[in-house]
Structures are given as C-alpha cells and as structure tokens.
Structure 1
C-alpha cells in the first residue's frame, strides 16, 4: 500500500526511501508515496529493490524485473533536480542537474506491488508490514547521456516532456532517449550530499572551482 502524502522538501532522497509518483488508477491520475527501488511481484526478498532503483530504457521491455511493469504499471516521478557524480582526482564530485526552462522535471518510471509472503521474517526493510501486506515501489528509467551530461556521467534519467506524460502513463510508445542538452543546468554542489543522513538545503550549495 502507498503511504500518506509527504510533500515536505527533500534535498537528498536515497534508495529505500519514499517519494511521490504520478500514476493513473481507477479514479484517474493521482500522487502516491512509493518506495524507491522496484520489488518485482515474484521476488523472494525485498532486498532486490536496492539493485533496481534504475531501469535501462534500452532493455526495460525484456528484463524480467521490469517487463510486466513496463506493460501495465507506469508512473512519472516529479523532481526539481537530480544528482550525479564525476571522478575528480581521488574523490567524486557531486553535481546537481536542473531544468533551465521549467521548475519541475518528470522522470519516466515504473511501479510494482509486492506482497509480504507468509513466514517472512519482519526486518527493517519492510517496516511494520505483515504477511499479505503490499509494498508499492518504483524505479526510474535511464538512458544514454546527452552531450552536456556526458561530461559528468554516461547515463541520465529519461525526462518526459509535458506532451509525453499522458501517453506514457497510458502505456503507449514514447521517446525514451536523452533530452536536449540546452535545457539542463549542471553545477557542482557540496559533498554533504554524499551522506544520505544529510537532507537539508546545504546539500545544494554551489561549489566553485571544480
């Protein structure tokens, strides 16, 4: 089941945490809080979700973990930016990527519903869930980096433009390639973001000279 909406500002969302996603249900389009890291319905353990935070757009139609969700359970993940890291000598420098012509990005995503099996030992990864309860999770599609992103990393999220949102949620074919380079702003930010315990505005402070 999805959690009550929690729309407080987040500056450093980590895998395994919950985020708002847009999906279409019986009552139309709605926001739901789902856990980041897709758990396929057939999974024996929820721990697979830490390996499925992203799905490659090039293989999402055929990969066992994602193909059923690709056909029937799509979503969009709203965010005002995302982080990527690039090696700078002996360390990794985080960069914040935002959209220069819009305040919000929409990442193409998929969602799944996994039921806690009978006899599964309760762990921190499933919280207070019990046998038979449903955990709803999501993944973000990635694609090859555009020219701007390639200076930081070879992959990037699939960004949906506003015209693609409705057909994507409806299960139709949409372009899953990189967005144009000129709509992105990329800037170096504080290494505070390297620690998931840090989740405040200091994470997005600009760092000069990198």
Structure 2
C-alpha cells in the first residue's frame, strides 16, 4: 500500500519548473503526475479518486481499470510496521516511478504484492517502474506479474529486543 510519499525539489525539477508541492505528499493533496504516450507531460493532480462515496488512493494491479494511465515520480515512500515505526523506502540517488491511473485531474497509485525488501513491513507496495519502462506502461503494456526491484530502507528508530 502507499499512503504517503516524498518528492524533493531535485526530482520535481527534472520534470517541470511549475510550482508544485514538494516534501511529504498525503492523499487529498495536489502533486506532480506524468501523462502521455509519446511525450511525458507534467500535470498537477489531486491524489485520490471519488468512487461510490469513498476516496480511493490506491488501485490493485490485479484488477482491470479502464482509466488512463499516469506515472507519479517520487524520491521515497514510507509505511509503518506493526510497531508503528515509520520505515522509509528508496533507491539511492534514483527517482521512483509509481504506476498510476487518473480521472478528471485526480490520480491513484497502483499497488502490487510486496517484494522481499518490503514484505516484512507491509504485504503491498506501489508498482515501481524502472525509468526505461515508464513509456511502455503509459502506452498500455501489462505489468500484472511484475515484481519491482529491491529497495533500500531506513527507520528513524530501531526497536531492540532483549529476548
């Protein structure tokens, strides 16, 4: 699952000079999204799509959606483990490209089964594409059985056990 992510100024500047929020991105906030088939166009969209009186922020890759595709660039994302400790996931010096869908200037992040680096913290994670896979995803290529590359992680507090 993905309920928070982070985008730094460096990552944002790779795609647009427009003023768009950087730092922690929460559901309901506007953020940078890339759309298009041949040429990626930066857009400002709000995270979350209304569906049957609920705001949906994530979409499972296992389900089929008829919505247009988008990609959400990020510097990192985080999840909380069972002890409510925040764990940050990232790729050293690389931009993360989350697969997504959008509708009327609102977007959702596509999730998949967690890979080895994530599954101890949460059973789901964003579908993270490699840079050279972004255009293929936007053009409609299936990534249903895709497992994202391993990520680095860090914790603000590491809990130790005496037993």
**Shared fold per TM-score greater than 0.5:** yes
- Separation in structure 2 between the aligned mates of residue 54 and residue 174 of structure 1, nearest angstrom: 16
Write the mapping of 1:147-158 to structure 2, written as runs, cut at 5 A. Answer: 147-158=116-127
Match of 2:32 in 1: 20
- Is 2:62–2:144's contact at 8 Å kept on the other side of the alignment? no
Match of 1:95 in 2: 87
Write the mapping of 1:30-179 to structure 2, written as runs, cut at 5 A. Answer: 30-39=41-50, 48-49=54-55, 52-59=56-63, 61=64, 67-69=65-67, 73-88=68-83, 92-100=84-92, 102-113=93-104, 136-174=105-143, 177-179=146-148
Give TM-score scaled by structure 2 length. Answer: 0.79
The alignment of Structure 1 onto Structure 2 pairs a total of residues equal to 144
Q: Which runs of 4+ in 1 moved over 4 A?
A: none
Alpha-carbon RMSD: 2.2
Q: List gaps (5 residues or longer) in structure 1.
A: 62-66, 114-135, 190-206
Choose between structure 1 and 2: higher helix proportion: 1
Match of 1:124 in 2: none
Q: List gaps (5 residues or longer) in structure 2.
A: 1-16
Give TM-score scaled by structure 1 length. Answer: 0.62
